[in-house]
């Protein structure tokens, strides 16, 4: 009886050790590079032996200059998923605004209306998400500063897998108007 008791204690402590050492391992390597208006972020993680590898390429980012007394303005970005896993743009943060939402455009009768997308936008592996004028966009609401043409604005994009990615978006009266020649396929 006594021997049995000791054995089970040993087994318990071995179990506890395994729990600390190998049971819940988390390793993550994240790299973020910026070059010529393209931000590339790559994340490799290993959580309990489940390996994920995400890669995103962010380009065509811009913010519309604040207009008159309008308390809101729009932000735009193109996100290409160059990784192996699907990802999702969950939210965006900016010190410039009280609140930031992700918006889509919907027909309401014969009127085009903006509506919030609280679940964010999915970007499947190999696919590209385009937030652009007239379409899905980032809504900066309750502006605390008045972003003006020629300035840059820091935005933090929060992805489900890639995590937070910071971009410096140029502010323009006509955002992305010069980039339209690149969007033709």
Q: Nearer to Cu ion by C-beta: 64 or 80?
A: 64
Residue 135 CB, nearest distance to Cu ion (Å)?
A: 11
Q: Check residue 68 and give left, alpha or beta (phi > 0: left; psi -120 to 50: alpha).
A: left
Least Å distance between CB 137 and Cu ion?
6
Residue nearest to Cu ion (CB): 103
Residue 24: which residues within 8 A CB-CB, separation 6 or more?
A: 48
Residues whose CB is less than 8 angstroms from the CB of residue 140 and which lie 6 or more positions away in sequence, other chains included: 63, 72, 73, 74, 75, 94, 96, 97, 100
Binding mask 94-133 for Cu ion (x = CB under 5 A): ---------x----------x-------------------
Secondary structure of residue 73 in the 3-state scheme? strand
> Which is closer to Cu ion, CB of 39 or CB of 72?
72
DSSP 8-state secondary structure symbol assigned to residue 39:
E
80 binds Cu ion (CB under 5 A): no
Sole window of 9-17, 48-56, 135-143, 153-161 interacting with Cu ion (rule: CB under 5 A)? 135-143
- In angstroms, give the least distance from the CB of 78 to Cu ion: 17
d(C-alpha 10, C-alpha 178), whole Å: 70
Q: Which is nearer to Cu ion, 41 or 176 (CB)?
A: 176
Under the binding rule (CB under 5 A), the answer on residue 143 touching Cu ion is no
CB atoms within 10 A of CB 16: 11
Binding site for Cu ion (CB under 5 A): 103, 114, 139
């Amino acid at each position: 009886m006594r021997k049995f008791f000791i054995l089970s204690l040993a087994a318990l402590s071995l179990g506890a050790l395994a729990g600390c050492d190998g049971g819940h391992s988390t390793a993550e390597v994240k790299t973020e590079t910026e070059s010529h208006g393209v931000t590339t972020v790559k994340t490799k993680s290993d959580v309990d032996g489940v390996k994920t590898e995400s890669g995103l390429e962010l380009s065509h980012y811009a913010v519309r200059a604040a207009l008159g007394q309008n308390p809101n303005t729009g932000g735009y970005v193109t996100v290409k998923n160059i990784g192996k896993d699907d990802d999702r743009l969950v939210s965006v943060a900016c010190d410039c605004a009280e609140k930031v939402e992700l918006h889509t455009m919907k027909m309401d009768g014969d009127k085009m209306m903006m509506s919030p997308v609280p679940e964010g936008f999915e970007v499947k592996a190999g696919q590209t998400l385009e937030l652009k004028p007239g379409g899905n966009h980032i809504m900066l609401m309750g502006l605390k500063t008045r972003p003006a043409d020629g300035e840059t604005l820091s935005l933090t994009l929060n992805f489900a897998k890639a995590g937070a990615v910071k971009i410096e978006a140029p502010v323009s009266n006509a955002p992305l108007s010069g980039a339209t020649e690149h969007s033709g396929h």
